[in-house]
Amino acid sequence: MSFIITCPICGPRNAYEFGFGGEDKGPRPDEEALSPGDWCDYVHMNQCVAGVAREWWIHRSGCGVWFTTSRDTTRNLEVQVETMEKGPNPPLEKE
Amino acid sequence: MKKEIIRRSPVAFNMRPVKEERRGHWVVALEYENEGDGPHLVDLSHCIRWDLQDSDPNGDRGKWKPLGIPVPEQPGGCIIKNGVMINRMNNTQAAIWHLSGEEAEMPPETAYTDVTDATAFLALTGEKTFAIAEKLTALDLSDLDGTPPFLIQGPFVHVPCQIVVMANGAEQPGILLTCSRGYAHDMVAAILEAGKAFNLRPAGEAAFKRWLEQLK
Amino acid sequence: MNRINPLETFRIRPSQKVSIRYGRKSYQGVAGDTIATLLYANGVRIFSRSLKYHRPRGLYSLDGECSNTMMQVNDMPNVRVENTPARDGMEVVAQNVAGKTADIDPMAFMDNLSFAMPAGFYYRTLHKPAKIWPLAIKNIRKAAGLGVMNPDFRMPGHFDEIYPTTDVCVIGGGPAGMTAALSAAEHGLRVILLENRPWLGGVFDYRPTAYEGDIPLYRRAWELAEKVETTPNIRSFTHTAVVGNYNDHLVTAFQRGDKTDPFDERYIEIRARSLVIATGCIERPLLFENNDRPGIMQVGCAHRLARTWGLLPGKRAVFSIGDDLGLEAAVDLADLGLEIACVADTRQDGQDESLTDALAQRDIPFYRGWMATEAHGGKRLKGVILGPVTGIRRQTFDCNLLVASAGQTPLTSLLSMRQVKLRYDHHTGFFLPDNPPDGIHPAGRMLGLQDSVEIEISGRLAGMAAAADCGINMDKEIETIKTRMDAFPGPVRGAKVVSAAVKGKKTFICFDEDTTLKNVDQAMAYGFDVPELIKRFTSAGTGPGQGGIPGHNLPLYVAQTQQSPDTEPRPTTVRAPLVPTLLATYAGSQHDMSKRTALHDSQEATGGKMERIGVWNRIRRFSEDVNARAEINNVRSNVGMLDASTLGKFRIHGPDALKALQRVYVSNMEKMIDGKIKYSAMCNEDGCIIDDGVVVKRGDNDYYFTTSTGRAGQTVEWIRFHTRYDGWNFNLVNLTDAYGVINLAGPNARKVLEKITAADVSNGAFPYIGYREFMIADSIPARAMRLGFVGELSYEFHVPASYMQALWDILEEAGQEFGVQNFGLEAQSTLRLEKGHLIIGSESEQRTTLHDVGLGFLWNRKPSAKTVGAVALEDTEKQKGRLKLVGIKMADAALPTPRDGSIIVDTKIRGYVCTARFSDTLNEPVGMVLVEDELSKIDTQFNIYEDDCNGRLITAKVADMPFYDPDGKRMKM
């Protein structure tokens, strides 16, 4: 965990400031007609790529924002950084 | 009820103040014995703090103006006016700290929450501020690229903190920090121990105000 | 021993005396001495006895790369005395010997038995029959080893830690490192420079050889060091060993403090944007028979003993070296008064002619292409046999000092730790980095450079490249300096000869583990073909020195000896810590951070027994009685007060607040009534219960809710995570620490409350499950809830934490006439057990669903909310074979109370006891258990097994809950 993760709010920080939120699998599926097996796959099955993975992280010891970033799992390094446009703390439009 | 009702800070230094002042329900320590020239650790936990959260604290370019002060637009940004500091924490949240220590009425909008008692509020000031801080955090507080005052949120003695670097020049640097109230005792103990070699002493609010004054 | 006349290069102050004890005697040295040089000055030559064979060992490198000088200092074992400054009053004892010094060792006969211990001896021999192994271990451990740790030993001293951030981190404070630091600092960057020795200077520090013009190298080193020390944006750390280099340039190190520092050691963790690695070289050990005898040392060791500490290393010396630094040392030491019998150089040609001329001028015989093949003597070196590298001529020379070195070998560990591929370079004989990754810049001697000016320029270039990493445009300057580099000779040809042609029975490739060349040959004969495997089988390089001394020769020797012609030498893997680091140093200041409630001090003062629960300190009980019976009885009959401040407390507000609550709570949160509490639970995706708490609606889109103590820290994160794709507009404020909570519980609770508030708190105005906000004592704003966790009339007051002590004092005073008393967690646990109320984590585990604990009634099917856990609950609701939570009583009330965690058995394990207590109120034991659904019907009997029940099982039967006040009349009073 020596590597650096770039928080979209706070910038690059030590990885140990962050918590891991799993692979980016997309939104929760609709529950209508969802089989238990499909649900289980969504919750528990992962790609586990040896290479670049898109993942959720939270800046747990910092600003607390959830965001996605890409990590090369073979080198344990963040590989590209993009500022989140949509996320848990998005700049929402005023109604 | 005859008994006086006192609000208590979570911070207790191991000494009695030589000067104190009653302010509302608080008893504020103005000065401690042998404060010396610094570095100083000051308890500001009596200072009123508000949380402001909304989808967009800058709303319509300046909807949120707590006490007439516009919220900084970028996370990390800080503004100080009339003894009040506003620091922007993320896209939807800002903190409002009354550095003057005076009482204030919270605006009625639901976006505000009084969080005075949620945290311990400390100031660490003086020439050796960063020498002490680097023993307690890996955060880059003395980042020369940053223009004070700026906000850093991250671990300080392993505990998530909101830290405002007020000055990072060679002269009289200093930081303000808030951490969860429950950690106050251990936080103060850790800072004082780290500062022992640099003669860090507890100081009262008056020392903090003098320091704040010379920043201008 | 008398010191030689003072030289400018001295790092000692001869006028200032230092005295230490070694064994039973006092020894005097001077300020600046290490323990090793102090002892050496007093004639001590044997510093330790080797691990297996108890061979005498002496000074070898002076930089602590092997276990030769590990001694016990002030009761601390395994101190490398060669880089530990001597301080007045130190108590030094030798290790792995029967006596207190290493001179005499009754176990020395072990050396004669070495023939009986081939490589892998223990693994191959001592496992048949199996019972021999414990016996063997016991005796081997007695006979072999290093220092002995006394279990009562407590580490003295002050251990500090710092975590600086920097732009450029330069590792190595020699000429290349210093110029790199200076050139990076020119651009205003923050630079950190780390040096292992107590001073900057590196390979220049002690050498009188001319730099440019007439200035000697050591003066040049002073110049550079002064510049470094006066540059404000360079921080240099000396006497600092680097132990690790990790992803994104995280460098870990530790610094040994000197007398003026406020620490004994400090851990340093540096985050840099760019790294310069200028760690230079160490000497490659020369391999020949008895190459470990005291009196055999490396070039730098001999040279620095004289130049730095004023100690001539011997009387009559033979040199067997492989590079120009060896020749230079011979000339200089001869001038300082050392008698040199001859100098052998493994190289046939390529020497600096001015050095060979200088030897000739001093009438020192010089043998090209020669080397040491065997040393004579035991505790003291008596002589050495030299011969040509290829050929059979042998000639013996008497001497008491053999300066032996095969040449240089670069310190590349910090590169390998970052997965840099090292390639064997046939020109230099070095393992060199193929393509250093971005942001890492090797410089100086480790690249094979020897020319002093070239070393500095390579440092400057690396410093510039590092500055470029930090965003400064350096293109032009880098190009200019690269052109300048081209004018220099570049990497020099290195000597390739490592080992004399010997059988290797007493040729030690690893001093720490007593591994000989013969052992390596044996391993290869058994079929081990890769250095990594040979290393493990022979244990070469697995001792305290790690890769230091043996790591550099094993791959070369293996490559040269292997039959396969295409075998390229491959270095063994290097791992952190590169230098053994004290656990005390890693532990640092040991900041153990925990939380205290606002009542911590006053509760402790009234006799509260504090316990650490998660991040909080909480009171378990207020008396010596572990069952807290008095506290329980007082709540049941009068009124008690509990500090429940650790409960998680949150505000959620904003247009989508309700949606967020619907997502995480299993109940229908739309159905909230003003002034009334809603109790609900949260599940994880598997439908397993993770939290319960209450929610109140305080306004439009504005809610206040509580969580259990253990969940408080994760709640905001949890809600944000499970709404992360939705883009909802809601705001969360963690008020856990902002509000303190006092639970006032017992039949007299209302009487107390009525005295301190003007609000109408009658049962009609503030009924059970009610929520009210009012002022206490006209000043304290309280959020009050009528709950019944302990089964009595009770009020939970949530007040700003700063008012907590005031409220507590008011309640205590007002409650005096009604018998108010504190109660703690133990009392609460029994009280709520009697009431059948569960605590998540106590009556549930990871597999326990909402239905398993009987809270299924909280669940409301609301698929559009996509409630976390709902899909799984649908699936598990009717599932067979699950563990269900039920109450138990004993089959006979006279039976003992089972302990928490006891196992329920039928013909197999069928469940376990969550909590069980003897209830004074009910006068019998009661408990809650998780048991297979088949056994969960009322009156079902089963047996409970406990660790020391001696086969006598306790029979329990499933009983109705709540045990106490089943109709709940007392809570609703």
Residue of C589, C627, C37 whose CA lies nearest to C310: C37
- Partner B, chain C 593-652, Cβ-Cβ below 8 Å: 593-598, 600-601, 615-616, 651
The reported pLDDT for the residue numbered C642 is 97
As a whole number of angstroms, the distance between CA C170 and CA C440 comes to 10
Nearest Cα residue in chain C from A64? C717
Q: Do the Cβ atoms of B153 and A91 come within 8 Å?
A: no
Report, as an integer, the average pLDDT of C475-498.
Answer: 93
* Banded model confidence at residue C755, pLDDT cuts 50, 70, 90: very high
- Check whether residue B131 and residue B211 sit in a common domain: yes
Residue A85 has pLDDT above 50, yes or no: no
Count chain B–chain C contacts defined by CB atoms under 8 A.
Answer: 142
- Partner B, chain C 810-849, Cβ-Cβ below 8 Å: 810, 813
Of residues B56, B89, B160, nearest to A91 (C-beta): B56
As a whole number of angstroms, the distance between CA B158 and CA B137 comes to 7
Tokens of C967: 């109709």
What amino acid is encoded at C256 in this protein?
A: R
Percent helix, strand and coil across chain C, each to the nearest 5:
25, 30, 45
Q: Do the Cβ atoms of C589 and B190 come within 8 Å?
A: yes
Q: Do the Cβ atoms of B137 and C594 come within 8 Å?
A: no
The reported pLDDT for the residue numbered C565 is 56
Beta bridge partners of C80: C70
Structural domains counted in chain A: 1
Residue of C694, C622, C698 whose CA lies nearest to C657: C698
The reported pLDDT for the residue numbered B55 is 73
Beta bridge partners of C885: C930
- Chain B residues with CB under 8 Å of A10 CB are 75-76, 152-154
**Residue C43's Cα: distance from chain center in Å?**
39
Domain for residue A36, yes or no? Answer: yes
- Chain A residues with CB under 8 Å of B75 CB are 9-10, 63
Digit-coded pLDDT (tens) for C107-123 = 888 888 877 777 777 77
Can you give the length of chain C in residues? 973
The reported pLDDT for the residue numbered B1 is 46
- Check whether residue B99 and residue B177 sit in a common domain: no
Mean of pLDDT over chain C: 93
**Residue C103's Cα: distance from chain center in Å?**
36
Digit-coded pLDDT (tens) for C268-319 = 999 999 999 999 999 999 999 999 999 999 999 999 999 999 999 999 999 9
Domain for residue B2, yes or no? Answer: no
Tokens of C208: 């009188």
- Check whether residue B63 and residue B151 sit in a common domain: no
Burial class of residue C272 in the structure, from the number of CB atoms within 10 Å of its CB (0-12 exposed, 13-18 middle, 19+ buried): buried
Domain for residue B8, yes or no? Answer: no
Digit-coded pLDDT (tens) for C137-192 = 777 777 777 888 888 998 899 999 999 999 999 999 999 999 999 999 999 999 99
Q: Å from A70 to nearest chain B CA?
A: 21
Does the CA dihedral C701-C706-C712-C715 come out positive or negative?
A: negative
- Check whether residue B107 and residue B145 sit in a common domain: no
Tokens of B90: 């993320």
C698 touches B at CB < 8 Å: no
Domain for residue B175, yes or no? Answer: yes
Final residue in a domain of this structure, among B92, B114, B136: B114
Task: Calculate ∠ Cα B165-B170-B176, nearest 5°.
Answer: 20
- Chain B residues with CB under 8 Å of C777 CB are 1, 3, 5
- Check whether residue B56 and residue B158 sit in a common domain: no
Domain for residue A56, yes or no? Answer: yes
Q: Where are the alpha helices (DSSP H) in C247-404?
A: 299-309, 324-335, 353-361
Can you give the length of chain A in residues? 95
Domain for residue B198, yes or no? Answer: yes
Does the CA dihedral A50-A54-A58-A63 come out positive or negative?
A: positive
Show which residues on chain B lie within 8 Å of chain A, measured between beta carbons.
55-56, 59-60, 75-76, 89-93, 138, 152-155, 160
Residues 6+ apart with CB under 8 A from C435: C420, C421
Residue of C550, C548, C530 whose CA lies nearest to C540: C550
Specify the DSSP class assigned to residue A28.
P
The reported pLDDT for the residue numbered A87 is 41
Q: Do the Cβ atoms of A64 and C717 come within 8 Å?
A: yes
- Check whether residue B156 and residue B189 sit in a common domain: yes
Can you give the length of chain B in residues? 216
As a whole number of angstroms, the distance between CA C941 and CA C939 comes to 6
As a whole number of angstroms, the distance between CA C929 and CA C958 comes to 9
* Banded model confidence at residue C637, pLDDT cuts 50, 70, 90: very high
Nearest Cα residue in chain B from C598? B10
Percent of chain C with pLDDT over 90: 80
Of residues B56, B60, B90, nearest to A92 (C-beta): B56
As a whole number of angstroms, the distance between CA C325 and CA C408 comes to 9
Beta strand pairing status for C794-800 and C616-621? Answer: unpaired
Q: Do the Cβ atoms of B1 and C777 come within 8 Å?
A: yes
Decide: A26 and A45 in contact? Cβ < 8 Å.
Answer: no
* Terminal-to-terminal C-alpha distance of chain A: 42
The reported pLDDT for the residue numbered B61 is 45
Decide: B47 and B98 in contact? Cβ < 8 Å.
Answer: yes
Digit-coded pLDDT (tens) for C597-619 = 999 999 999 999 999 999 999 99
- Check whether residue B40 and residue B53 sit in a common domain: no
- Domains of chain C, with CATH numbers? 13-122 (3.10.20.440), 159-281+410-486 (3.50.50.60), 288-405 (3.50.50.60), 508-584 (no CATH), 601-645+738-832 (3.30.1360.120), 648-734 (3.30.70.1400), 873-959 (2.40.30.110)
Which segments in chain B show pLDDT lower than 70?
1-3, 56-62, 144, 170
* Banded model confidence at residue C563, pLDDT cuts 50, 70, 90: low
As a whole number of angstroms, the distance between CA C805 and CA C379 comes to 74
As a whole number of angstroms, the distance between CA C640 and CA C743 comes to 8
Q: What is the CATH number of the domain that holds A16?
A: 3.30.2270.10
As a whole number of angstroms, the distance between CA C784 and CA C782 comes to 6
Residue A84 has pLDDT above 70, yes or no: no
Q: Do the Cβ atoms of B154 and A90 come within 8 Å?
A: no
The number of helices, as runs of H, and strands, as runs of E, in chain C is 23, 49
Residue C564 has pLDDT above 70, yes or no: no
Q: Do the Cβ atoms of C598 and B53 come within 8 Å?
A: no
Beta strand pairing status for C296-297 and C401-404? Answer: parallel
* Terminal-to-terminal C-alpha distance of chain B: 45
Domain for residue A94, yes or no? Answer: no
* Banded model confidence at residue C35, pLDDT cuts 50, 70, 90: very high
As a whole number of angstroms, the distance between CA C972 and CA C969 comes to 5
Digit-coded pLDDT (tens) for A35-81 = 889 999 999 999 999 999 999 999 999 999 999 999 999 999 999 75
Nearest Cα residue in chain B from C596? B182
Beta strand pairing status for C739-745 and C689-699? Answer: unpaired
Question: Chains with ≥3 Cβ pairs under 8 A against C?
Answer: A, B
The reported pLDDT for the residue numbered A95 is 31
Choosing among C273, C650, C737, which should be mutated to test the B contact, i.e. which has the most B CBs within 10 A?
Answer: C737
Mean of pLDDT over chain A: 85
C950: alpha, beta or left? (left if phi > 0; alpha if psi -120 to 50):
left
Phi then psi for residue B165, to 5 deg, are -80, 115
Q: Do the Cβ atoms of C593 and B190 come within 8 Å?
A: yes
Q: Which domain holds residue A63?
A: 4-80
Beta strand pairing status for C639-643 and C820-822? Answer: parallel
Report, as an integer, the average pLDDT of C649-661.
Answer: 96
Beta strand pairing status for C440-442 and C274-277? Answer: parallel
Digit-coded pLDDT (tens) for C314-345 = 999 999 999 999 999 999 999 999 999 999 99
- Check whether residue B78 and residue B127 sit in a common domain: no
Q: Do the Cβ atoms of B154 and A17 come within 8 Å?
A: yes
Structural domains counted in chain B: 2
Q: What is the CATH number of the domain that holds B128?
A: 3.30.1360.120
Q: Tokens 């394990």 correspond to what residue?
A: C909
Nearest Cα residue in chain A from B159? A61
- Check whether residue B40 and residue B61 sit in a common domain: no
Question: Residue C962 CB: number of other CB atoms within 10 A?
Answer: 17
Q: Which domain holds residue B148?
A: 17-46+117-215
What is the maximal distance between C-alpha atoms in chain A? 45
Tokens of C395: 């000639």
Residue C127 has pLDDT above 80, yes or no: no
Task: Calculate ∠ Cα C928-C853-C662, nearest 5°.
Answer: 145
- Check whether residue B101 and residue B123 sit in a common domain: no
Q: Do the Cβ atoms of B90 and A17 come within 8 Å?
A: no
Q: Do the Cβ atoms of A91 and B91 come within 8 Å?
A: yes
* Banded model confidence at residue A94, pLDDT cuts 50, 70, 90: very low
- Check whether residue B133 and residue B208 sit in a common domain: yes
The reported pLDDT for the residue numbered C655 is 93
- Check whether residue B141 and residue B61 sit in a common domain: no
| pTM recorded for the entire structure | 0.94
* Terminal-to-terminal C-alpha distance of chain C: 94
Digit-coded pLDDT (tens) for C864-889 = 999 999 999 999 999 999 999 999 99
As a whole number of angstroms, the distance between CA C268 and CA C266 comes to 6
Domain for residue A91, yes or no? Answer: no
Does the CA dihedral C847-C848-C851-C855 come out positive or negative?
A: negative
State whether residue B95 is helix, strand or coil. strand
